[in-house]
Structure 1
């Protein structure tokens, strides 16, 4: 398996860290750094941010949910380049918290990368691809409500990150695993809420 494929997730973190300059980084700067056609990379980055300690920033889970929702809708309709409304792209994240989150993520990302490889790629094409994308849409609608339940938003974001990782690495097995996890997130949240 090519080295570029095995380091796909770490490469995204490297690019995100390169974008983190000054006191804060705007979402548009992240998009510019990763490329406006990199739907999977953008989905991975924003869902990982919501999984990391950077999720302590008030409202970050809601912003991430809105971004992922818009990305997924565009993926479903087959759009070739990313479009996000200006009120989202102008949002800024504190660079120190973002970098802290990136540092926290590097160890688990390196661990996960060891097991990823190109396989079962038919699950990453239509019509199979639509099921996880539709489930992600559903998750993002509930993520703003999850902010009141400790860790639940991070759990949803982690599952979305796994799916995005499967797209980047062309790992259909991981896509299938993330699909199963998506089905369990509502149950887990409900049990924590009850």
Structure 2
């Protein structure tokens, strides 16, 4: 049930995304082709990171990421081996300039975080333990399109998904647990950053 491929460094995923960036824009399909149709966790990670980074300034990106992650999670729960995305998603274009800016912004925090990641608590990455975080992430994606009206809230939600996806990719169950903790605190964070002051 966990990611089928061998763990990759998180920065490698950014490298693959950067290599897909060419011309004025890049499509979701090109990103999927670069990362591979079996890379559920890598795709979940990269799209959630895009929504966390300055690339989230791309109009509608939070809602698009929510739809992509929703579809990926449903397929993971159903045990699919290859990623399928509808054409209205795969044909969506993202600005190469904004995407590359987001990748550059993500480099340092990603390199910092991956130094602390390692294989541990791997039983949490298999059935039935994996069902709970998947269902919670699924529920989170349903609210994300509405979070675009609350400043930074979509980025916070995307960061939670990125933590979970990184835990899957690096086979680090402790990071999956951390994503639980952050998810539990998410309503408070959204309220504080969105409505305080």
**Length-normalised TM-score, structure 1:** 0.95
Residue 105 of structure 2 corresponds to: 104
- Counterpart of 2:43? 42
CA shift for structure 1 position 24: 0.4
Which residue of structure 2 aligns with residue 184 of structure 1? 185
**What are the ranges of 5 or more consecutive residues in structure 1 without an aligned counterpart?**
none
The secondary structure found in structure 2 opposite 1:25 is: strand
- Corresponding position of 2:31: 30
Give per-residue Cα distances to partners, 1:57-114, cap 9 Å, x unaligned: 1100000000000000000000000000000000000101000000000000000011
- C-alpha deviation, 1:181, in angstroms: 1.0
Deviations 1:126-156 (A, max 9, x none): 1110111111011100001100111000000
User: C-alpha separation between the residues in 2 aligned to 1:147 and 1:66?
Assistant: 14
CA drift at 1:187: 3.0
Aligned residues: 190
Instruction: List runs of 5+ in structure 2 lacking aligned partners.
Output: 1-5
Compute the RMSD of aligned alpha carbons. Answer: 1.2
Partner of 1:158: 159
Matched, 1:75 2:76: yes
Structure 2 SS opposite 1:119:
coil
* Distance (whole Å) between structure 2 residues aligned to residue 83 and residue 76 of structure 1: 14
Measure the CA separation in 1 of the matches of 2:68 and 2:22: 22
DSSP 3-state at the match of 2:43:
helix
C-alpha distance in 2, partners of 1:137/1:79?
16
Note the C-alpha offset of 1:179.
1.2
What residue number does 2:54 align with?
A: 53
In 2, Cα distance between equivalents of 1:177 and 1:138: 18
Q: How far apart in 2 are the matches of 1:126 and 1:185?
A: 25
Runs of 4+ in structure 1 deviating by more than 3 angstroms, as ranges, are: 190-194
Q: Which moved more, 1:177-186 or 1:42-51?
A: 177-186
Q: TM-score, normalised by structure 2?
A: 0.93
Cα distance per residue 1:143-182 (max 9 Å; x no partner): 0110011100000000100110001100011111111111
Matches of 1:184 and 1:141, distance apart in 2? 17
